Chain A
């Protein structure tokens, strides 16, 4: 069974709203490094942070995050 990874469209959503990583980090109360590692699919955020990100970007969690195959990134 292949391992499923959490993909995201955070970078696109952030860029579409003209926000920098620092802006988004400030809005959700984390460091810019955390935003960076989420965008690079290195760090899987908690449910609370995922909801906060969706709220800050005025979208839904499902629109930001998706389940992909292990080979996909």
Chain B
């Protein structure tokens, strides 16, 4: 059996600026920790939730506008080779984004969502609860979007969602589905034994399949980028 050949042209993109990615991970962790603390304190004051809600709305609205612009902007003549090169470079690093996002969801957002579910503030309005749900569900949807063509422009979609990517996605989603069944069964049993934990069991049921699918997809993409 001949050894698998690594494409030398792909390696620089994988190894470049790893320290920057380290800083990004650190920054995400720090931002998440601050957010967690902020939300805790926000319950004690009336003004802070309003600010956090406005910031949350702004961030997600801006993201939605960027995605909408990328997907539906009027098509102009463009340098196909340049667009392709950028998309290829992004594709080579996408697995790293997904690993970081999975860690963010698994280590911070799921515990945060469980904490929010088990510590309801009587003064919360339905809008407050929806915002808390958005904090958890938004990143989960973003992780799923990164594995599909949902968040990419049409030009990028052809590169970052080709036949190999579709095969990786099918494998990842298959494992995610099995995780969903297992997490759902565990939540069902938990709710039977301890009904008061039923709500707390729901965030892991939603988040665990996303994390597992994203990690599986990321590892497959990484292996493919390194030559198989």
Contacts and interface: CB of A to CB of B under 8 A. Distances in A.
Interface string A33-71: 110110111110110010000000000000000000001
A19 interface: no
Contacts, number: 68
Interface in B71-86: 80-81, 84
Contacts of A31: 87-88, 91, 159-160, 162, 164-165
B106 to A, nearest CB: 26
Interface residues of A, number: 23
Given A29-B158, A40-B227, A73-B2, A22 B163 contact: no
B84 to A, nearest CB: 7
Contacts of B84: 26
A32 interface: yes
B33 interface: no
Interface residues of B, number: 28
B9 A33 contact: no
Contact of B4 (A30, A33, A40, A49): A40
Main secondary structure of the interface of A (DSSP, over half): loop
B127 to A, nearest CB: 43
A57 to B, nearest CB: 17
A33 B2 contact: no
B5 interface: yes
A40 B163 contact: no
B5 A34 contact: no
A72 B1 CA distance: 6
20 contacts: A20-B9, A21-B7, A22-B9, A22-B88, A31-B88, A31-B160, A31-B162, A32-B7, A32-B88, A33-B92, A33-B164, A34-B162, A34-B163, A36-B227, A37-B227, A37-B228, A40-B4, A41-B228, A42-B228, A49-B163
